[in-house]
Amino acid sequence: MKDLHKIIKSEKEVLDEQQLLEFVKHNLSTEAQQMVEKNIAEDPFLMDAVEGLNEVANKDQINQSIAELNQHLNKLVQNKTKRKQKRRLPANQWAMLAVVVVLFLSIITYFIIHLQGGR
């Protein structure tokens, strides 16, 4: 997770978030714009991202919107991770659960054998 700003990675070029934003704002050189267009044509996910960025009315607020979305996404992921960690039983609790299950099965087996012996 070192390269959080990398959008697409291929063998030849790397397209990062800043290049994509500059493309949407039409601030790229002709060569860079052609490279981005080539990547967009090859990747439907990237094409959807550009379409979404083009729908934003105020292009100057895109960075702020992206930062808010990333912050919200990170918070959701952290909360989900915390919930998963809370649900996990530590190793000693798994052992205790195994002992309880074995005891329960032993008691049931005892009663089944005892009841059949009484008939």
pLDDT per residue as tens digits for the range 5-19: 555 555 445 677 888
Q: Domain residues for 32?
A: 6-88
Q: Is residue 116 situated within a structural domain? A: yes
Q: Is residue 1 situated within a structural domain? A: no
Residues 57 and 95 in one domain: no
Calculate the CA dihedral of residues 51, 56, 60, 61 and round it to 10 degrees: -120
How many angstroms separate the Cα of 50 from the Cα of each of 7, 23, 38, 99?
A: 11, 9, 13, 57
Note the pTM of the prediction, 2 decimals.
0.50
In whole angstroms, give the CA distance from residue 42 to residue 79: 35
- Quick: pLDDT tens for 66-113: 888 889 999 999 988 888 877 776 668 888 899 999 999 999 999 999
- Quick: pLDDT tens for 52-63: 888 877 777 888
In whole angstroms, give the CA distance from residue 47 to residue 59: 17
Residues 79 and 114 in one domain: no
